[in-house]
Structure 1
């Protein structure tokens, strides 16, 4: 409860600073982070958070029981599937005496459609509807010690899952069987249900999000593994590769170089460091080592609460790229990754005073099976 109350206070302090009466939060990340409950958007659902007072959770009546089981909110209201939920939310806010002169939504929300904005303006014709502009989203950038403890646990478990995945790979094995073995292990370890991550045969840096082959693995294949299961909604992530039939000396050399360059990046991830400078360690390090001619993707992004119901597989609100001018802060957690020649390495890393701390601890090698 202390953790959730602290989150509410952070949000309400920001609302008061912006002179906002009520914020409507309808993205799974923000709803889950504040209320403890998230669900799909088969029908619209949201939180209404006043600048002062207790927030409201709006869900389908069908979802009332699980919402009450998971959420700490005092006010949880449900709507019938054939009713419009927005008037119920506004009506509840009025019943609870929320001020409604200045109402904020996040204009970048995937859930808040143009049609819903039109309806909100009709319901509140005298209100100033303003943009949160990701200001509340940004409150999640640094993780509490409770969150870090949970992500540390998730990272230890994902290391175990990776070991099982590697052991299931071999010549003649269908990748689908590898994925099935991984999924079973993920469930046994206590992770949430949902997508386990890409398992594919890598061909280059741009094949990491490729499709699962429908043929047996053969000697010479590089199996790319990216595991991203969730523990109570929090994601720990790791990438490794497996050389089927054995790795060449060149593949081992590339893996060792990638690990060395990324280790320098992780070591430099201290509070106050500029994100673009952290990015350049890997970006230019890989190019200067002759491993890639160009580097056209980011080298890391935010980790934290990423419910399975979100449209986003990854939180790219803060990521390492050449234009990132923000500073690192203690408690930020990132998925840092690099790749070249079909080989990829990644870690879950928390920013500490003396540099980045790897939460995932698997051997930083090219596995051979």
Structure 2
């Protein structure tokens, strides 16, 4: 739930940048700051005056209710069809805006504001207690749904059927929605990182890669497990073990104060030593929260250090075109140093290679 402390922190960052106000128009950032879930809104955040929320007549009552629930009942709500124009008329000359997201016409109408530098996204990297609780619940639902799915026989069912079954189980367990379109890839399709489920039937000998997650209170879970139908072949065991070891190496570096790039180095180094680095063709991990992919992104070029209460994924993989692939992915909370700094894996489910019917 949003609260005034988020707006206060944003106001402080804007003041530190030497500007007088920020214009926020991204709907995800609006939800984070105010609790608003509608499809049209904006927020003007001056450093020396109260914020102003702008929306159209469709969302008059919704905005009042959601801002009130977020503890922002005193924020002025302006109902208008010209959000940009009204904001421009009330903003100081030294305005910053989300120039990485707005179009050129809006930028011109706002008076060509300077770039805000992803200030809200920086705030969103550090999760508060309510956010962590929602993420934890989304991950619990996800794991429970998959564990129940894997009890029943999968051989003979189609990728599409199994994917829909998993999504329905998450809804039945209390998810408000799936976090994203489920990736259910079997056999040779498991070598395709973002395969879309088809009518291919699962059969004995298949690797089955399942990338999925539930959404709770707007917050996303992200988890991948790879299983095999029937007894696993030696090559399947080999690549699964290599991915599992790579993930463990990367997870070990998800600690407060550690450079983000170190987890990338550790996970890739493990795959290189095993001889499989060339078969890892995707990113290693990313932040997750109100969006399924958000800052920070784990990469060799990332200049920053991990902060406690950041939530990220760790998802190495091996993809062998025409044969099959393995990915193991978890959603992980970087914990406070006072708690030992041990990574807290929110998708708490075995990563062993499961042989199922």
TM-score by length of 2: 0.87
Listed one character per residue, the Cα deviations across residues 184-222 of structure 1 (whole Å, up to 9, x for unaligned) are 212122222253532223648861211211232222332
Contact 2:280 2:318 in 1 (8 A): no
Change (3 A) 1:10 1:286: same
2:240 to 250, 255, 258: 255
1:89 to 87, 92, 101: 87
Gaps of 5+ in 2: 320-324
User: Is structure 2 residue 60 aligned with structure 1 residue 77?
Assistant: no
User: Is structure 2 residue 331 aligned with structure 1 residue 348?
Assistant: yes
Offset, 1:114: 0.8
User: Is structure 2 residue 310 aligned with structure 1 residue 332?
Assistant: yes
Q: Which residue of 2 aligns with 1:59?
A: 55
Report how many aligned residue pairs link the two structures: 341
Once the two structures are superposed, the pairs formed by residues 167-246 of structure 1 within 5 Å of their partners are 167=151, 170-194=154-178, 195-201=180-186, 203=188, 207-246=192-231
Contact 1:202 1:208 in 2 (8 A): no
Listed one character per residue, the Cα deviations across residues 1-50 of structure 1 (whole Å, up to 9, x for unaligned) are 7x61211111010111122222111112211110111333xxx5312112
Which whole-Å CA distance do the structure 1 matches of 2:205 and 2:65 have between them?
Answer: 50
Change (3 A) 1:59 1:244: farther
2:107 to 76, 92, 117: 117
* CA RMSD, 1 decimal: 2.3
User: Is structure 2 residue 346 aligned with structure 1 residue 359?
Assistant: yes
Once the two structures are superposed, the pairs formed by residues 265-284 of structure 1 within 5 Å of their partners are 265-284=250-269
Which whole-Å CA distance do the structure 1 matches of 2:194 and 2:273 have between them?
Answer: 25
Q: Which residue of 1 aligns with 2:322?
A: none
Listed one character per residue, the Cα deviations across residues 306-332 of structure 1 (whole Å, up to 9, x for unaligned) are 2xxxxxx411x3211121221111111
2:293 to 311, 314, 324: 314
Contact 1:274 1:325 in 2 (8 A): yes
Once the two structures are superposed, the pairs formed by residues 140-155 of structure 1 within 5 Å of their partners are 140-155=124-139
Offset, 1:157: 1.6
Partner of 1:224: helix, strand, or coil? Answer: strand
Change (3 A) 1:169 1:242: farther
Contact 2:246 2:316 in 1 (8 A): no
User: Is structure 2 residue 42 aligned with structure 1 residue 46?
Assistant: yes
Listed one character per residue, the Cα deviations across residues 255-286 of structure 1 (whole Å, up to 9, x for unaligned) are 23322332222122222211112111111211
Contact 1:162 1:227 in 2 (8 A): no
Contact 1:14 1:136 in 2 (8 A): no
Which whole-Å CA distance do the structure 2 matches of 1:55 and 1:161 have between them?
Answer: 42
Q: Which residue of 2 aligns with 1:68?
A: 64
Which whole-Å CA distance do the structure 1 matches of 2:197 and 2:34 have between them?
Answer: 36
Which whole-Å CA distance do the structure 2 matches of 1:248 and 1:71 have between them?
Answer: 56
Which whole-Å CA distance do the structure 2 matches of 1:276 and 1:234 have between them?
Answer: 25
Offset, 1:168: 5.3
Offset, 1:336: 0.8
Gaps of 5+ in 1: 122-127, 307-312
Contact 1:196 1:229 in 2 (8 A): no
Change (3 A) 1:188 1:56: farther
TM-score by length of 1: 0.85
Contact 1:268 1:355 in 2 (8 A): no
Change (3 A) 1:166 1:55: farther
Which whole-Å CA distance do the structure 2 matches of 1:179 and 1:332 have between them?
Answer: 29
Offset, 1:298: 2.2
